[in-house]
């Protein structure tokens, strides 16, 4: 049974005042946070929907950031490759002039000197850096230059001439996730963009009796190809040909060794799985390449040059005054380089277009999901302001009533 005393009315008034203050605090917190849900019990169903919307929205914003970066990266790469195309077109124009047969040897040397400078510009483009200071054509080894100029003496051209442009390797292509489970490759390696001929690697070791010693795998252009114990060279060839790697394998009819040929113009990248040496035993590589740079075996014959090889070959022919070479193999090599470069430019352009379309779609989807989240969690400011005003008015009235109703205390007599 409740005890009736002089403190009962005071306690009751304080209890209800505290409840009113709690209500005021809740509505003020909801207005400040722009959300009508502070705790799950406020609206359990809406809260569960809101959690899913928030998670999905966070992923969309991450995809939007990735896609924007990819789009800008492709634009920069596209511009540099177009610049390389312009330089290479000028080299071809000089080759056509030099092969015309109306120029004196001194004129041909002047053309060769210009080609040498254009060659340096091509090498500079191949080592181009993006706004973030990272190499555009070096894959995930973005702090290492993929090409190195070697200078020396050229007959008829003097000293400090470019005699070789060495490929130093590039890492695997970086990828960006543009939507759930959908990725795009950000990079195109220097061994793809700046190559001219289809490459061949032919071992001189007879592999007719070769057997794989244990279950392992090899990597061809970054594609892992699993091998089983006891696989013959024919089984290896079949697995390489069945893989998505742009390489065709066969057994050389002369040496009976393993032979690999690119299906398009690019530098073939080969690597044994860690702890294995299948490609080494077959006489293809000496060991796993450092940084992706080629490391062909001494028993292997290689063919297929880069864009730089074609330009150097043409320049040297002009220095020698060999107009016949310039008009045939010289122009032919430049055309091969131009064909591959234009194909790679188209590839980068397609990636950029895809990134642009995805970016636009995400920028339409993000506001829609944000609106759905707001419908679940958002607060109606008009209703909230009205409720806040009503609670504040009731609280003030309660305080005024309490001041009149509550009995005097000892402190009142002591004043």
Structure-model confidence comparison of residues 347 and 384, the more confident one? 347
As a whole-number percent, the residues of the chain with pLDDT over 70 amount to 83
CB 154 within 8 A of CB 163: yes
E strand or H helix at 263, and its extent?
Answer: strand 258-265
Strand spans (E) along 83-236: 147-154, 158-167, 175-179, 182-185, 198-203, 216-220, 223-227
d(CA 25, CA 38): 12
Pick the range with the lowest mean pLDDT from 16-20, 50-54, 130-134, 347-351: 16-20
d(CA 275, CA 227): 14
- Identify the sign of the CA torsion 395, 400, 403, 406: negative
Residue with tokens 């806040």: 388
Last residue of a domain, one of 322, 349, 365: 365
107-160: per-residue pLDDT in tens?
999 999 999 999 999 999 999 998 888 899 987 777 888 999 998 888 887 778
**130 and 250 housed in the same domain:** no
Residue with tokens 């397609």: 350
**241 and 159 housed in the same domain:** no
* Domain span including residue 134: 57-193+305-365
Structure-model confidence comparison of residues 379 and 166, the more confident one? 166
Q: What is the CATH number of the domain that holds 288?
A: 3.30.70
**278 and 327 housed in the same domain:** no
The total domain count for the chain is 2
**319 and 221 housed in the same domain:** no
How would you class 196 by CB atoms within 10 Å of its CB: exposed for 0-12, middle for 13-18, buried for 19 or more? buried
Report if residue 395 sits inside a domain.
no
């Amino acid at each position: 049974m409740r005890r009736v005393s002089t403190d009962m009315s005071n306690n009751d008034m304080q209890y209800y005042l505290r409840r009113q203050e709690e209500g005021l605090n809740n509505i003020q917190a909801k207005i400040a946070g722009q959300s009508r849900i502070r705790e799950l019990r406020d609206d359990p169903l809406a809260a569960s929907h809101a959690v899913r919307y928030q998670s999905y929205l966070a992923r969309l914003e991450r995809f939007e950031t990735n896609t924007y970066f990819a789009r800008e990266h492709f634009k920069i790469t596209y511009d540099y490759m177009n610049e390389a195309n312009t330089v290479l077109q000028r080299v071809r124009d000089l080759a056509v002039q030099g092969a015309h047969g109306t120029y004196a040897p001194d004129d041909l040397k002047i053309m060769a000197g210009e080609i040498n400078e254009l060659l340096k510009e091509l090498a500079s483009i191949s080592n181009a850096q993006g706004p973030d200071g990272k190499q555009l054509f070096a894959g995930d080894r973005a702090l290492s230059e993929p090409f190195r100029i070697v200078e020396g003496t050229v007959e008829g051209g003097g000293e400090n001439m470019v005699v070789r442009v060495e490929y130093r390797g590039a890492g695997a292509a970086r990828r960006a996730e543009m939507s759930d489970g959908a990725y795009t490759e950000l990079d195109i390696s220097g061994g793809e963009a700046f190559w001219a001929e289809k490459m061949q690697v032919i071992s001189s070791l007879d592999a007719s009796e070769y057997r794989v010693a244990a279950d392992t795998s090899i990597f061809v252009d970054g594609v892992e190809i699993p091998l089983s114990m006891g696989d013959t060279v024919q089984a290896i060839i079949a697995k390489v040909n069945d893989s998505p790697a742009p390489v065709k394998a066969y057994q050389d009819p002369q040496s009976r060794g393993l032979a690999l040929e690119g299906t398009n113009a690019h530098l073939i990248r080969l690597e044994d799985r860690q702890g294995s040496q299948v490609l080494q035993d077959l006489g293809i590589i000496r060991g796993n390449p450092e940084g992706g740079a080629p490391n062909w075996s001494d028993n292997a014959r290689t063919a297929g040059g880069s864009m730089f090889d074609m330009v150097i070959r043409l320049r040297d022919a002009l220095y020698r005054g060999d107009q016949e070479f310039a008009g045939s193999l010289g122009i032919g090599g430049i055309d091969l380089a131009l064909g591959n470069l234009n194909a790679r430019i188209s590839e980068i352009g397609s990636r950029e277009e895809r990134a642009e379309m995805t970016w636009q779609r995400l920028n339409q989807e993000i506001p829609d999901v944000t609106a759905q989240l707001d419908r679940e969690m958002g607060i109606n400011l008009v209703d909230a302001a009205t409720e806040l005003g009503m609670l504040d008015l009731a609280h003030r009235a309660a305080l005024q009533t309490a001041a009149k109703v509550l009995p005097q205390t000892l402190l009142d007599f002591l004043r």
